[in-house]
């Protein structure tokens, strides 16, 4: 990939300008979605005369989104229908029977389920390791995949140090950047070979679409992933791609408010004896803070804590006016998700709270009142 043309600009400018075509009088800033399955072909040259031949591998709206995300991540990007499609596509593109992959025990649980149900069944050896380690020797390992900050526990790993270890053993390192977003950290700058993420969450941030992506600076890896996507058809539709690109422009603004809200909510929760296990990597004293402070450009608006049991979580959310019970995270609306109900290995009262873009004072007051109303365990 060529030198980042927007490297001298701030995050807000980069988000607003990312992936836009050169301005042409009379054209919109961001062209509308192109809806097409087949395209007109040259009667003599066929597909080679145009970048668009058929809608599964070719769509100009999708390419503009890929350019935008690639500019923010600092690599060549390919988007997928969902984050799960992106991460399973990565695993099945790179791994063959007899290979070994290292996956996080505390990352997104469907990835572990996929490893157990699919990867091990085809002869891939799976090693599960906590995000913060200790890590085994990487000798003989084909791929190391980490999610940092981990979801839902929010541990953080030193990507540069892990990349050095992986590469010394001949392994590839992939980083799930869903929670951080490319404004929070750029794993490719830290030595990772690939970035994978769900764009469903904070990247697009309006809780109205599903999206995933992969990015890399290796042409060979991008080509392999592109072939996989074309073969399996795991592409997003044109309207979702356009909607994602439009939403991307406000990423800097959304993250700023969400992070500020998380900092204020973390301070509130830290002072309450009826809340335990508080985690937010942006708070001094959090176990992840030293690495996060050195590695991350900003900390996301997601935090976690424990309210003791499932019933108290229910009472808390029911009493809140600004906190909705919902899964996923990174949206405009503050949400609480009791992760044990989805299969995560967490306590019954464990809550992942995703701070939205509400006014900080309103959100803090509402959460405090809801906790009071929820009563004791």
Enumerate the active-site residues: 56, 108, 176, 201
Integer Cα distance of 170 and 185 in angstroms: 24
Tokens, residue 5: 């043309």
CA 304 to chain centre: 17
Report the DSSP beta bridge partners of residue 173: 144
End-to-end CA distance of the chain: 54
Respond yes or no on whether the N-terminal peptide bond of residue 83 is cis (omega within 30° of 0): no
DSSP 187: G
Tokens, residue 55: 């809608």
Integer Cα distance of 301 and 203 in angstroms: 12
3-state secondary structure of 94: helix
204 vs 246, 252, 253, CA distance in Å?
8, 11, 12
Contact 205, 213 (CB under 8 A): no
Q: How many CA atoms lie within 13 A of 286 on its CB side?
A: 27
CA 14 to chain centre: 18
Q: How many CA atoms lie within 13 A of 123 on its CB side?
A: 4
Respond yes or no on whether the N-terminal peptide bond of residue 289 is cis (omega within 30° of 0): no
Place of tokens 């540069």: 160
Contact 316, 307 (CB under 8 A): yes
3-state secondary structure of 303: strand
339 vs 132, 183, 311, 364, 369, CA distance in Å?
20, 26, 13, 22, 23
């Amino acid at each position: 990939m060529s030198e980042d043309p927007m490297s001298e600009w701030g995050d807000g400018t980069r988000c607003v300008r990312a992936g836009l075509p050169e301005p042409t009088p009379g054209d919109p800033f961001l062209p509308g979605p192109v809806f097409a399955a087949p395209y007109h072909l040259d009667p003599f040259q066929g597909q080679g005369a145009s970048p668009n031949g058929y809608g599964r591998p070719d769509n100009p709206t999708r390419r503009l989104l890929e350019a935008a995300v690639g500019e923010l991540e600092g690599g060549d990007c390919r988007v997928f229908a969902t984050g799960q499609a992106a991460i399973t596509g990565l695993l099945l593109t790179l791994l063959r029977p007899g290979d070994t992959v290292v996956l996080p025990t505390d990352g997104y649980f469907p990835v572990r389920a996929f490893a157990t149900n699919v990867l091990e069944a085809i002869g891939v050896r799976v090693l599960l390791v906590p995000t913060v380690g200790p890590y085994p020797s990487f000798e003989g390992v084909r791929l190391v995949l980490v999610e940092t900050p981990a979801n839902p526990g929010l541990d953080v790993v030193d990507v540069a140090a892990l990349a050095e270890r992986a590469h010394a053993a001949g392994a590839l390192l992939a980083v799930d950047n869903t929670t951080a977003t490319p404004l929070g950290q750029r794993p490719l700058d830290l030595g990772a070979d690939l970035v994978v993420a769900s764009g469903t969450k904070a990247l697009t941030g309006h809780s109205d679409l599903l999206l995933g992506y992969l990015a890399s600076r290796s042409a060979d890896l991008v080509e392999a992933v592109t072939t996989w996507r074309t073969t399996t058809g795991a592409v997003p539709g044109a309207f979702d791609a356009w909607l994602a690109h439009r939403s991307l422009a406000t990423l800097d603004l959304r993250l700023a408010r969400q992070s500020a809200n998380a900092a204020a909510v973390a301070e509130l929760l830290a002072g309450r004896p009826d809340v335990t296990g508080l985690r937010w990597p942006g708070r001094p004293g959090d176990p992840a803070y030293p690495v996060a402070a050195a590695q991350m450009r900003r900390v996301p608006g997601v935090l976690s804590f424990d309210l003791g049991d499932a019933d108290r979580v229910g009472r808390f959310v029911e009493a809140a006016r600004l906190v909705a019970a919902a899964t996923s995270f990174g949206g405009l609306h503050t949400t609480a998700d009791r992760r044990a109900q989805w299969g995560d290995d967490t306590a019954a009262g464990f809550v992942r709270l995703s701070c939205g873009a509400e006014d900080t004072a309103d959100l803090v007051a509402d959460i405090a009142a809801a906790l009071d109303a929820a009563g004791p365990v």
